[in-house]
């Protein structure tokens, strides 16, 4: 009995000694034990309790002894190094793929390739170094595939129209900025919402963007609304993509707003009754939907909707053909994004901050990147405002009652005042009355007015509750309101290249 115990202890000791030769141990910002292997040019950081580290333990033991090590032995080795990291290791901030230094406007990108390359964006330039030379630490797991190659001077952002079929081609520069902000990790983020009918390539658009910013095992997800599950996904992803979502409830919209701007959730620590851990959530989000899924004003302000057009039958491609073509195009598009981001980071401190919209961080970065597309800051902000106005109109269009209210008040010279019953009477001959979704009671109409009050405000209609007259509202046109005009920008000469 004792000899078996000694043999078991011997195996653990041998494995610990072997691992100690090649790894250093530390703790990251999430209080997770980290194993670091630094053999130039590589510097690889993996969680001690990860499959990758356990695989290193098994490999090192087998290479030294010619024998396999048991699962229980591996567990003991992991427990040993977890304790060592917690109580004697240094503390590091680990980044997944991207590390942005706010003080110097530098961006470091871990390409996760065999050459251990780290790209460095500073002062409008893109240079490279090794992981060992980089002044920042990156995490790694086996789900991460290499980034596309950076090709200096060969970037072509216009190629993205092969994979994302925007109905409004003027919005491609805004989409490129959106992708760039996901890389820079400069929150708060704007949610990218791809809306289009079946056959418009919504899911493929989301997959292609993920392949640019976080290639690997990063699937499109179903939105469950479980914050704990989302927080876990955030720790292993650069961005989260939710496919074919339904209209978001207020609760779901609040979760997404928290995720876009940054928040923390507390949950019970496993195997304890009173232990607690805090999970931080901050991530870019991509969603796809057939219908406009955004209903609340808060999420509207934090989102950009990209309407996709249906791909004609004679221009559709098989998945195999798309994959083959993407291997050629991804490096060119990726290089264009890096050139744009490098220029944006160089310009960002010189961008004037007067009259920035609510998503000021995104808007400021967009203005900094505008010269890459031959646009001025004003033109880029007009593009952004136009996209927001289109989204608001799209949201209002989902409610026949709100469409009718908007048309009624837009045509009146004076304000309208009354209760919901009187408003329904005023609209009894509106063509929308017979449409699905028309309120069948004054209570339902009042709830719709309350729910869409901010949407109507963005469309130039003020909704004011009259306190001294219970249940009465005053509806009036906002003074000096002007609908978003068609943006006159230098056209980027984008031509449809699908099918060529």
351-384 confidence digits (pLDDT tens): 987 777 778 899 999 999 999 999 999 999 999 9
Last residue of a domain, one of 379, 394, 409: 394
Residue 342 forms part of a structural domain = yes
Provide the domain limits for residue 170. 157-394
Residue 101 forms part of a structural domain = yes
DSSP letter assigned to residue 130: E
Q: Are residues 123 and 202 in the same domain?
A: no
Based on the number of CB atoms within 10 Å of its own CB, is 91 exposed (0-12), middle (13-18) or buried (19 or more)? exposed
- Contacts of residue 400, defined as CB under 8 A and 6 or more positions apart, other chains included, come to 432, 433, 435, 436, 437, 438
Q: Are residues 257 and 274 in the same domain?
A: yes
Q: Are residues 364 and 423 in the same domain?
A: no
Asked if residue 243 lies in contact with residue 288, where contact means CB atoms within 8 angstroms, the answer is yes
Residue owning tokens 């292609």: 208
Residue 500 forms part of a structural domain = no
Residue 484 forms part of a structural domain = no
Task: Assign residue 342 the CATH number of its domain.
Answer: 3.40.50.300
Asked if residue 128 lies in contact with residue 119, where contact means CB atoms within 8 angstroms, the answer is yes
Last residue of a domain, one of 369, 394, 419: 394
Q: Are residues 307 and 380 in the same domain?
A: yes
Exposure string for 154-164, b = 16+ CB within 10 A, e = fewer? ebebbbbbbbb
Helix residue ranges, H only, 66-143: 71-88
Q: Give φ, ψ of 160 to 5 degrees.
A: -65, -20
Exposure string for 441-453, b = 16+ CB within 10 A, e = fewer? ebeebbebbeebb
What is the predicted pLDDT for the residue at 226? 81
Last residue of a domain, one of 36, 69, 92: 92
Q: pTM for the full model? A: 0.82
Size of the chain in residues: 500
Q: Are residues 375 and 240 in the same domain?
A: yes
Q: Are residues 16 and 75 in the same domain?
A: yes
Q: At what angle do helices 172-184 and 377-397 cross, to 10 degrees?
A: 100
Residue 482 forms part of a structural domain = no
Q: Are residues 356 and 307 in the same domain?
A: yes
What is the predicted pLDDT for the residue at 398? 78
Residue 148 forms part of a structural domain = no
Residue 336 forms part of a structural domain = yes
What is the predicted pLDDT for the residue at 273? 45
Q: How many domains does the chain have?
A: 4
Q: Are residues 418 and 368 in the same domain?
A: no
Q: Are strands 416-419 and 263-268 parallel, antiparallel or unpaired?
A: unpaired
What is the predicted pLDDT for the residue at 495? 42
Distance CA 110, CA 215 (A): 12
Low-confidence ranges of the chain (pLDDT < 50): 1-3, 5, 8, 270-275, 485-500
Residue 161 forms part of a structural domain = yes
Q: Are residues 84 and 99 in the same domain?
A: no
Q: Are residues 380 and 419 in the same domain?
A: no
User: What is the torsion angle, in degrees rounded to the nearest 10, for the CA atoms of residue 86, residue 91, residue 95 and residue 96?
Assistant: -10
Q: Are residues 390 and 403 in the same domain?
A: no
Q: Are residues 366 and 279 in the same domain?
A: yes
Q: How many CA atoms lie within 13 A of 109 on its CB side?
A: 30
């Amino acid at each position: 009995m004792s000899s078996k115990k000694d043999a078991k202890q011997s195996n653990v000791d041998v494995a610990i000694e072997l691992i100690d030769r090649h790894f250093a141990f530390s703790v990251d910002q999430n209080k997770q034990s980290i194993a670091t292997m630094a053999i130039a040019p590589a510097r690889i950081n993996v969680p001690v309790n990860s499959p990758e580290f356990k695989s290193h333990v098994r490999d090192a033991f087998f290479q030294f002894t010619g024998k396999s090590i048991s699962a229980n032995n591996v567990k003991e080795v992991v427990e040993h190094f977890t304790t060592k990291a917690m109580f004697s290791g240094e503390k590091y901030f680990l980044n997944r793929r991207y590390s942005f230094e706010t003080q110097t406007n530098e961006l470091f990108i871990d390409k996760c390739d065999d050459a251990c390359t780290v790209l460095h964006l500073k002062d409008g330039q893109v240079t490279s170094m090794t992981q060992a030379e980089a002044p920042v630490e990156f995490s790694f797991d086996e789900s991460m595939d290499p980034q596309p190659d950076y090709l200096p001077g060969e970037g072509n952002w216009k190629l993205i129209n092969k994979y994302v079929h925007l109905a409004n081609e003027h919005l491609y520069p805004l989409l490129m900025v959106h992708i760039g902000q996901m890389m820079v990790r400069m929150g708060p983020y704007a949610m990218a919402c791809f809306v289009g009918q079946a056959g418009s390539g919504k899911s493929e658009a989301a997959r292609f963007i993920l392949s640019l910013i976080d290639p690997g095992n990063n699937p499109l997800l179903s939105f469950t609304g479980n914050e704990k599950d989302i927080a876990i996904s955030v720790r292993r992803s650069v961005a989260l993509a939710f496919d074919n979502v339904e209209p978001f409830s207020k609760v779901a919209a609040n979760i997404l707003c928290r995720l876009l701007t940054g928040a923390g959730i507390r949950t019970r620590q496993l195997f304890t009754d009173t232990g607690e851990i805090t999970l931080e959530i901050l991530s870019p989000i991509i969603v796809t939907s057939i219908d406009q899924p955004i209903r609340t004003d808060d999420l509207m302000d934090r989102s950009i909707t990209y309407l996709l057009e249906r791909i004609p039958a004679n221009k559709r491609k098989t998945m195999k053909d798309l994959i083959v073509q993407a291997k050629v195009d991804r490096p060119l598009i990726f290089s264009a994004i890096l050139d744009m981001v490098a220029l944006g980071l160089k310009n960002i401190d010189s961008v004037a901050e007067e009259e920035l919209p609510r998503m000021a961080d995104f808007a400021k970065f967009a203005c900094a990147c505008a010269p890459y597309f031959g646009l001025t800051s004003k033109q880029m902000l007009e593009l952004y405002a136009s996209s927001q106005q289109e989204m608001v109109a799209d949201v209002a269009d989902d409610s026949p009652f709100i469409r009718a209210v908007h048309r009624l008040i837009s045509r009146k010279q004076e304000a309208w005042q009354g209760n919901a019953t009187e408003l329904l009477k005023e609209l009894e001959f509106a063509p929308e009355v017979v449409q699905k979704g028309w309120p069948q009671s004054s209570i339902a109409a009042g709830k719709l007015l309350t729910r869409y009050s901010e949407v109507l405000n963005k469309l130039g209609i003020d909704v004011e509750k009259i306190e001294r007259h219970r249940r009465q509202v005053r509806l009036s046109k906002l003074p000096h309101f002007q609908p978003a005009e068609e943006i006159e920008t230098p056209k980027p000469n984008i031509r449809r290249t699908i099918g060529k």
